[in-house]
Structure 1
Amino acid sequence: MLEVTRFLLPDAPQRVAPFSHAVRAGDFLFVTGQMPTLPGGGMRLVEGGIEPQTRQVIENLKTVLSGSGGAWKRAVFARVYLTEFVRDYPAMNAIWEASFPPGGLPARTCVGVTALAVGALVEIDLVVAL
C-alpha cells in the first residue's frame, strides 16, 4: 500500500481553508496552492501587484517545501492561477522563470480564474519528486 503523510506546518503560511500544506504520497510531494500572504501576517496579502505577489507565493512554496522534506529544484509540475491573466501573465512568467536554474523549469499549466482566496492575484501549487 502507498504510504501517505500529511503535513500541517506551524511555520508555514496560515491556511486560508481546511487543507494540509502538503501531502507526501510515495515518491511525490503535493503542495497545496500557496497565496501571497505574509509570514506571521495571518491572511494579509503582500502589498503591490503581481510581481511582489508572485515572489511571495514562491517564498511561501519554498517554506512549505522546507518543512515537508521537498526541494524547489525537484519541482516536476506546477499549476498557476491568475485573476488578471492577460495583464499579469508576462510579469508572472518573468519572475517564475528567474526562480529556477537554466533548464530547470517544471512542467506547468497556467489558467485565468475569476477570483482567488483573500483577494490574491496569483496562486501556485506544486508536485515535487522526492
Structure 2
Amino acid sequence: MPADRVITDDAPRNDNPYSQGVRAGDTLYVSGYGPVDPGTMEDVEGDLEVQTDRVLDNIAAVVDEAGGDGLDDVVKVTVYVADLDDYDRVNEAYGARFGETPPARVCVEVSRLPGDVRVEMDAIAHLG
C-alpha cells in the first residue's frame, strides 16, 4: 500500500526534506513540530504553556488535513524538551488538551531543538 504525503497551510511548512505528515493506510505519522505559528512562520510569544498549545495545534492541523479528528485520533506522542525541569509545565498544558483516554507518550530531554525552542513533539495517529 503506497503512503500519501499530507500537506496543509494550517501547520508550519518549510523547504526541509520531510513531509508534514505521511499516511500509510489508517496510520498517520506526523513530523515533529515546535511552537511555530503557521501564518507567520515565527515562534509564538508566551510562556511554555502557550508554546505547548501551539505545538499541539500544529499536530492537530496535520491530523485534520489527513481526514482525522485532530488530537482525538492521536495514539502516540513523543515530547522533546530542552530542559527536563520544564516537564511539569509541559505536562500540565499537554494534559489539558487530551480527554480521559490520552495517547501513549514518551518525554525526553534533548541537548538542543531546531530554532532553540524549548519544546517539540511528533505524533502517530490512527485514522479509522
TM-score for both structures, normalised by structure 1: 0.89
1:89 to 63, 87, 90: 87
What is the alpha-carbon distance in structure 2 between the residues aligned to residue 82 and residue 50 of structure 1? 10
SS of residue in 2 equivalent to 1:91: helix
What is the alpha-carbon distance in structure 1 between the residues aligned to residue 63 and residue 36 of structure 2? 16
Q: Offset at 1:14? A: 2.5
Amino acid paired to 1:119: D
What is the alpha-carbon distance in structure 2 between the residues aligned to residue 11 and residue 106 of structure 1? 22
Identity of aligned residues (%): 37
Q: Offset at 1:119? A: 1.6
What is the alpha-carbon distance in structure 2 between the residues aligned to residue 41 and residue 32 of structure 1? 19
SS of residue in 2 equivalent to 1:78: strand
Structure 2 gaps, min length 5: none
- 1:120 maps onto 2:117 in alignment: yes
Contact 1:29–1:70 (Cα < 8 Å) also in 2: no
Q: 1:111 to 1:16 in 2, by over 3 A?
A: farther
Contact 1:82–1:112 (Cα < 8 Å) also in 2: yes
Equivalent residue number for residue 55 of structure 1: 53
Equivalent residue number for residue 4 of structure 1: 3
Amino acid paired to 1:111: V
Contact 1:15–1:21 (Cα < 8 Å) also in 2: no
Deviations 1:19-61 (A, max 9, x none): 101000121000001110112112x111123111101101111
Deviations 1:51-106 (A, max 9, x none): 111011011111111112222112111100000112x100100111110112x110
Contact 2:79–2:105 (Cα < 8 Å) also in 1: yes
